[in-house]
């Protein structure tokens, strides 16, 4: 049975449709809602928590309906068997760590001895044993984040909801906490919904990802599937370091297609084909720029997807270099690591050859821009 089932969820804020007939099911693991600011991901999370009331639709956790506008059901947040970690952690500054974690248990009138046992177990789980008498101001940002998580875990919820919980941390600590947070959630064995606008964060933490834009779900799949096979032009442009170009399919054969790309000097590119298509179909061609080989010498005869262009400039970013190559009417910015063997060009290279492995190309047919 799905732990979460959403059907036809719609929410408007005046003229803005924050959620547009959203439906999906989630069984277990860690599911991220990913998208730019204003896409509806936080409204969706808050609706699941009962902090927002949708205009239409239903929400079920397990076999229990939590929200149904049509049936007039609206279970209050404190009765939904969920934990919620807010973006700013929402810790009481005048309360100790112990009292912050115990807050929800006290609201539920859990006996004192049982409350203490649950709080200490949660502290041990997040690695903060011995800090129960400190105040939030005496903790680092990472420790405050773990207190907020411990407060949710102490309630032993069926589902934990996290609203950009790492966004207040500095870049280095945020990177460290990604893996730590995933390990912790997996250790507890709880399912989680995670909101973020950071694709690296979503891919590191999640078992599955929902990409949203304008209140709609554009793709719901594993991180690998979303990265390698984007199902919508927006997903392709939002995920990874890619370029999106108009093309036309000229041949379909054995799960592959040949597509002509006018902007790249009428180049013909071979690509895997994930869905139905036929010759003559217009399409969007997605090229992952970090997977392009560059060379000042021609590639061997028979090499697939070879383009010729002019190197117009370079930008050094520490261990990374952005190579700007003009191919036809389009400038491609190919990023390489300083030790990467995929780039074999001199400092003064003008004429440049590009080789694109077909696995670095996706073709999207029949979707609006």
Kindly report, residue by residue over 244-286, the tens digit of the pLDDT: 999 999 999 988 999 999 999 999 999 998 788 899 999 999 9
Q: How far apart are CA 326 and CA 60, in angstroms?
A: 52
- For β-strands 56-61 and 330-337, DSSP reports them as unpaired
**Residue 347: per-residue pLDDT:** 57
- Of 39, 36, 37, nearest to 22 by C-alpha is 39
pLDDT band at 348 (very low <50, low <70, confident <90, very high): low
- Of 177, 131, 125, 176, nearest to 153 by C-alpha is 125
Least confident of 39-43, 91-95, 337-341: 337-341
pLDDT band at 15 (very low <50, low <70, confident <90, very high): confident
- Of 311, 309, 305, 301, nearest to 345 by C-alpha is 311
Share of the chain above pLDDT 90, in %: 66
Dump pLDDT digits (tens) for 89-129.
Answer: 889 999 999 999 999 899 889 999 999 999 999 999 888 99
Tell me the C-alpha to C-alpha distance, in Å, between residue 222 and each of 2, 103, 229: 17, 36, 10
Q: What is the DSSP letter of 19?
A: E
Instruction: State the average pLDDT for the chain.
Output: 91
216 pLDDT higher than 70? yes
Tell me the C-alpha to C-alpha distance, in Å, between residue 315 and each of 268, 291, 334, 338, 352: 29, 18, 10, 12, 16
pTM confidence score? 0.87
Is residue 107 helix, strand or coil? helix
Over range 328-347, report the average pLDDT: 76
Domain residue spans of the chain = 4-228, 241-365
Tokens of 158: 């069926």
Q: Among 1.10.10.60, 3.30.70.1150, 2.40.50.100, 3.10.20.740, what is the CATH number of 241-365?
A: 2.40.50.100
Cβ(321)–Cβ(314) under 8 Å?
Answer: yes
**Residue 271: per-residue pLDDT:** 94
- Of 292, 280, 245, nearest to 266 by C-alpha is 245
Any bridge partners for residue 61, and if so which? 4, 64
pLDDT band at 180 (very low <50, low <70, confident <90, very high): confident
Q: How far apart are CA 250 and CA 43, in angstroms?
A: 43
Least confident of 22-31, 205-214, 247-256, 339-348: 339-348
Contacts of 223 (CB under 8 A, 6+ apart): 202, 203, 206, 208, 209
Tokens of 164: 């950009």
What is the CATH number that goes with domain 4-228? 3.40.50.300
368 pLDDT higher than 70? no
- Of 304, 362, 309, nearest to 332 by C-alpha is 309
Dump pLDDT digits (tens) for 130-168.
Answer: 999 999 999 988 889 889 989 999 999 999 999 998 887
**Residue 273: per-residue pLDDT:** 86
Any bridge partners for residue 315, and if so which? 322
Count of CB atoms within 10 A of residue 359's CB? 11
Q: How far apart are CA 329 and CA 325, in angstroms?
A: 11
Q: How far apart are CA 74 and CA 185, in angstroms?
A: 28
Over range 179-193, report the average pLDDT: 90
Contacts of 123 (CB under 8 A, 6+ apart): 97, 98, 101, 129, 131, 132, 150
Please say whether the dihedral angle defined by the alpha carbons of residues 326, 327, 333 and 337, taken in this order, is positive or negative. Answer: negative
The more confidently predicted of residues 110 and 170 is 110
């Amino acid at each position: 049975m799905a732990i979460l089932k959403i059907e036809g969820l719609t929410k408007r804020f005046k003229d803005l449709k924050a959620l547009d007939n959203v439906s999906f099911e989630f069984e277990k693991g860690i599911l991220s809602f990913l998208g730019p600011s204003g896409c509806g991901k936080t409204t969706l999370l808050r609706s699941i928590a009962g902090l927002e009331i949708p205009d239409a639709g239903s929400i079920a956790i397990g076999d229990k309906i939590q929200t149904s506008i049509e049936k007039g059901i609206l279970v209050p947040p404190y009765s939904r068997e969920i934990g919620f970690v807010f973006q700013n952690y929402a810790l009481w500054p005048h309360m100790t760590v112990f009292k912050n974690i115990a807050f929800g248990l006290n609201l539920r009138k859990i006996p004192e001895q049982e409350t203490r046992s649950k709080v200490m177990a949660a502290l041990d789980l997040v690695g903060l044993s011995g800090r129960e008498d400190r105040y939030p101001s005496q903790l680092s940002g990472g420790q405050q984040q773990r207190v907020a998580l411990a407060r949710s875990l102490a309630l032993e919820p069926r589902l934990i909801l996290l609203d950009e919980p790492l966004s207040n941390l500095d870049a280095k600590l945020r990177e460290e906490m990604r893996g730590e947070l995933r390990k912790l959630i997996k250790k507890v064995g709880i399912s989680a919904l995670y909101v973020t606008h950071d694709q690296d964060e979503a891919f590191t933490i999640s078992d599955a990802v929902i990409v949203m834009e304008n209140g709609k779900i554009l793709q719901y799949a594993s991180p690998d599937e979303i990265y390698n096979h984007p199902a919508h032009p927006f997903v392709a442009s939002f995920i990874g370091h890619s370029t999106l170009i108009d093309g036309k399919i000229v041949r379909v054969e054995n799960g592959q297609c040949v597509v002509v790309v006018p902007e790249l000097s009428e180049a013909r590119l071979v690509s895997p084909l994930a869905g139905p298509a036929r010759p003559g179909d217009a399409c969007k061609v997605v090229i992952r720029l970090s997977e392009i080989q560059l060379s000042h010498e021609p590639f061997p005869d028979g090499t697939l997807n070879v383009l010729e262009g002019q190197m117009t400039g370079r930008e050094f970013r520490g261990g990374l270099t952005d190579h700007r190559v003009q191919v036809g009417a389009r400038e491609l910015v190919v990023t390489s690591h300083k030790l990467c063997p995929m780039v074999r060009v001199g400092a003064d290279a003008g004429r440049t050859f590009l080789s694109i492995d077909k696995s670095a190309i996706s073709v999207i047919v029949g979707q609006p821009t």
